[in-house]
């Protein structure tokens, strides 16, 4: 369950980037990491590669001459249901949100750390395999709070956005999917282990206290995420799910 690739069936990736200077070394690196990699220098080339077969995941540059990455992404998501990660040179929030709204599963900002890219590829694949975009189609509400998994946006009862990290997001998702259930540390670690696993497995407790700092009225006396004697945590709130289409 930790995303290790087996040699028998290598995961196929397609890299779409007009810059050969980045595309080629990246392909080499990913091959060394055990992936099978196809390359395309433009959206048109990518469509050609896609005609011959389906990769497991597409790495897509947003800014390309001709048809840009956003447009190709829309095609990939809508008609091929392919997991997609954006490679973007811009770091502005609007670009990221537009990418995620179109249906990209993740994004990395250039220049990225190659290890982190691999971690994200594995994380996206794991989520895609588990259930085809089932848990991110709806939004959760509890005690006035709302979590929109698509935008990874948590809002408090007054409607203000509350910043949470990816790890906290996954942790909160784990609690929201299992309300009023006691989740012990191993279970939580297993459910939330994502791309930043190397940071995360240091301490589930640390992440829980961070999450409490953001959503509890008084983090020293937590009401929402309660500590259960014997080593576990529980979300003590009613959780309702609503389709995101309205939001």
Binding site for another protein (CB under 8 A): 17, 19, 21-22, 25-26, 28-29, 63, 87, 89-94, 110-114, 156, 158-165, 168, 199, 210, 213-214, 217
Minimum Å distance from CB 105 to another protein?
20
Task: Considering the complex, state which of residue 52 and residue 113 has its C-beta at the smaller distance from another protein.
Answer: 113
Minimum Å distance from CB 159 to another protein?
6
Q: Are 160 and 217 in contact (CB under 8 A)?
A: no
Minimum Å distance from CB 63 to another protein?
5
SS3 state of residue 200: helix
Closest Cα partner for 54 from 12, 9, 106, 87? 12
CA atoms of 6 and 11, how far apart (whole Å): 9
CA atoms of 30 and 13, how far apart (whole Å): 9
Task: Considering the complex, state which of residue 63 and residue 133 has its C-beta at the smaller distance from another protein.
Answer: 63
Minimum Å distance from CB 111 to another protein?
4
Task: Considering the complex, state which of residue 108 and residue 188 has its C-beta at the smaller distance from another protein.
Answer: 108
CA atoms of 32 and 130, how far apart (whole Å): 26
Minimum Å distance from CB 35 to another protein?
14
Task: Considering the complex, state which of residue 90 and residue 242 has its C-beta at the smaller distance from another protein.
Answer: 90
Q: Are 192 and 164 in contact (CB under 8 A)?
A: no
Task: Considering the complex, state which of residue 137 and residue 205 has its C-beta at the smaller distance from another protein.
Answer: 205
> What beta strand segments (E) does 78-135 contain?
84-88, 106-109
Minimum Å distance from CB 201 to another protein?
12
Task: Considering the complex, state which of residue 116 and residue 186 has its C-beta at the smaller distance from another protein.
Answer: 116
CA atoms of 246 and 244, how far apart (whole Å): 5
Residue 137 Ramachandran class (φ > 0 left, ψ -120 to 50 alpha, else beta) = alpha
By CB atoms closer than 10 A (0-12, 13-18, 19+), residue 175 is: buried
């Amino acid at each position: 369950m930790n995303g290790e690739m087996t040699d028998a069936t290598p995961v196929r990736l397609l890299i779409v980037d007009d810059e050969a200077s980045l595309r080629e070394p990246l392909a080499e690196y990913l091959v060394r990491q055990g992936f099978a990699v196809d390359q395309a220098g433009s959206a048109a080339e990518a469509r050609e590669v896609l005609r011959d077969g389906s990769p497991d995941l597409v790495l897509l540059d947003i800014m390309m001459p001709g048809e840009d990455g956003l447009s190709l992404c829309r095609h990939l998501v809508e008609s091929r249901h392919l997991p997609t990660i954006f490679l973007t040179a811009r770091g502005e929030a609007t670009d990221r949100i537009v990418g995620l709204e179109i249906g990209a599963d993740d994004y990395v900002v250039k220049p990225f750390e190659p290890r982190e890219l691999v971690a994200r590829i594995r994380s996206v694949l794991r989520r895609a395999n588990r259930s085809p975009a089932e848990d991110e189609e709806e939004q959760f509400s509890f005690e006035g709070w709302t979590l929109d998994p698509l935008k990874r946006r948590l809002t408090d009862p007054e409607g203000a956005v509350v910043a949470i990290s990816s790890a906290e997001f996954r942790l909160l998702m784990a609690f929201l999917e299992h309300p009023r259930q006691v989740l012990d540390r191993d279970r939580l670690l297993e459910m939330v282990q994502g791309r930043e696993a190397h940071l995360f497995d240091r301490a589930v407790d640390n992440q829980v206290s961070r999450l409490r700092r953001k959503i509890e009225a008084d983090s020293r006396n937590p009401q929402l995420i309660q500590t259960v004697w014997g080593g576990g945590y529980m979300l003590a709130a009613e959780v309702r799910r609503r389709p995101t289409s309205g939001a």
